[in-house]
Structure 1
C-alpha cells in the first residue's frame, strides 16, 4: 500500500482505496493517520508490527491492527526452594481488524475469523465499512459488537 497523494481520497472517511481509473491493478492507498484517529476517538487500541501471518503470506509484512477487545491476563503461582514465584501471561488481542501492507485483512470476531483482500475501507460513524474481493457489496463492522462480549 502507498500513502495518500495530493489527488486526494474518494472521501474524507476513506482509509484504504485505489485511485479512480486505476482499476484493480492500481496500487492501494492507505491513510494510517485517519485509522489511528478513528480508533483513538472510540477507545480502540491501534498497533503496528512487522511479522509473518501465514494465513496471508510466508514473508514478513507490516501489520496495522485495531484491537477492540483483549484476552484477560492469567497468572500461575508456584514455589521453588522456599521462594514463591508468579508467572503472568501477556494479554493478547481477542477481537481485532488487522490490515497488512498489501491490503489483505484478518478479522477476528467473538466467534469467527476471516481473511479477505480489501478493495476499499472507510469509516462510517462508529463502524468501519469495506468492500473486498469475493464478497458481494459493502459490509459494515460495528465497533460496539467487537468491543462488547455477546451474552
Structure 2
C-alpha cells in the first residue's frame, strides 16, 4: 500500500514539475499597443464612405459601380477628380479625397454619403527579430550550453 502511495506522490510531483517547466513566461505575440504609433491626422484629407439608396444598392467588390457613384458625387458637388487619392471597394465602399472645409460640408449633406472621417497615418513598429526591429525581448532563452 505504501509503495502505491509513494508512486502516486512521485507521479503527481513529476507531472506538476513538467507542466510548470513547459510553460513559457514570455508571450510569442508582442503587445499590439507597443507596435502601433498614435494615429496622426492627415490635414485636409478625408475618407468618404458611400451609401446606396433603396433602388441602388452598393455591392462591395463592384469597382465600376463604386467609381460611378463616386464620380456622380464629385460632379454633383463641384469637386475635382484630381483630389481623389484612392477608392475603396471591398471592406467598405468609398474614397479618399483632399477637401477644404466648404467641400467637406457639401459632401456631408450628400444623400449618397454615409459618413466622412478624417484620414489618419498609422505606423507599425517593425517586428522584433528583423534587421531594423532589433532583437526580441528575453534574448531568445535558448540556453544552448
Find the structure with the greater CA-based Rg: 2
Greater relative contact order (CA < 8 Å, ≥ 6 in sequence): 2
Task: Give the TM-score normalised by structure 1.
Answer: 0.25
Task: Give the TM-score normalised by structure 2.
Answer: 0.26
Query: Which has a greater percent of helix?
Result: 2
Query: Which has a greater percent of strand?
Result: 1
